[in-house]
A and B are shown apart, each in its own frame.
Chain A
């Protein structure tokens, strides 16, 4: 007989894995469909120091433990999945995968997460790994004695700029607004660092070089003037974008393409829930993703108990 899962979870980050742990432990037949590697953005975190009950660990270990927990409770995990069609408005939700497989379920939890935002300017792809980086801890030492740009104005950008001054002779922060979004203490620390300079109300328009990055074209957003700056490296920390492509016509998204849910993680479609970094919310932490995943799984369980014939 054709398998119909109680819960289909899309996404294998902390929100999706937690939802998987809760629903499979509640004896609901559960499958997690994951496009990339399990753990989501958590595996991109070198140090996790503020996850309650767990002493200093790294994101890879934390995510792997969550994955193992979900699996041990009987959750089915499918990776490298690409969903090409969603038919989720009826009582039985039907997902079509690019390899032709059909996955059916009585409820769906979207936990598709987010990904780092790229500059999307000419030259960014060309110089990735030869001047353009997204991780100070990983690549900072390649820029010892060199001059670099950090793009962004949030906590990550300013903190990583500080880290990068351990290697680079000069760090120029390029930010699109006339003020920073980082916490005051972080801004103060960056201001006090003699190796850090600031170019405000500006963006990177283009990156140029030969075998490696040599120049950044910086555009002043208030005047439109473009200037050329000789540079060895550009580090990008400009936030995250939700992985909600293809959902625009299915679910209600806000202006940032985040899924709108209520406090029980319900979307407007009965039996369809969402959790984690793909939903519209203010704070994005591992702990909040885990909480979202828990609520979504419990809501799905309630829906199955009370609404399904």
Chain B
């Protein structure tokens, strides 16, 4: 069941996330809630989705058991702020951020890693 009211693709299961990693060499996934720190990141992703065809953008609801695949990822150790945002290159985590990020911070990672 979808939980996030965004125009981005919502990943619902850990299996689906793995499949997306296989299908998309450059994948950005924002794992959060419909909260004030997360929504601005979703908005930026929606805008970037129109501009960057080489990157697949998706979201995942933080509170679902399936999102444990992100919550428990070693790259998120010590994270104490939503959202957890993951950047996967050929299935490997190449960057991960915690809490709200602005457009400049996000595009910097996209430019450097993808």
A residues whose Cβ falls under 8 Å from a Cβ of B = 36-39, 43-46, 58-61, 79-80, 128-135, 137-139, 142-143, 211-212, 233
Contacts and interface: CB of A to CB of B under 8 A. Distances in A.
Contacts of B99: 128-129, 133, 139
B34 A46 contact: yes
A128 B80 CA distance: 9
Given A128-B81, A130-B78, A37 B37 contact: no
Given A138-B33, A211-B78, A60 B98 contact: no
Contacts of A128: 81, 98-100
Interface in B48-92: 78-82
B44 interface: yes
Given A37-B44, A138-B33, A129 B97 contact: yes
Contacts of A60: 5, 34, 39
A135 B38 CA distance: 10
B47 interface: yes
B103 interface: yes
A135 B35 contact: yes
B5 to A, nearest CB: 6
A133 B44 CA distance: 20
Contacts of A80: 47, 103
Given A46-B34, A137-B35, A138-B38, A129 B80 contact: yes
Given A37-B44, A60-B39, A61-B5, 5 more contacts: A43-B43, A130-B98, A138-B35, A138-B82, A139-B80
B25 interface: no
B40 A43 contact: yes
Contacts of B36: 43-46, 59, 134-135, 137-138
A58 B43 contact: no
Contact of B43 (A38, A45, A46, A137): A38
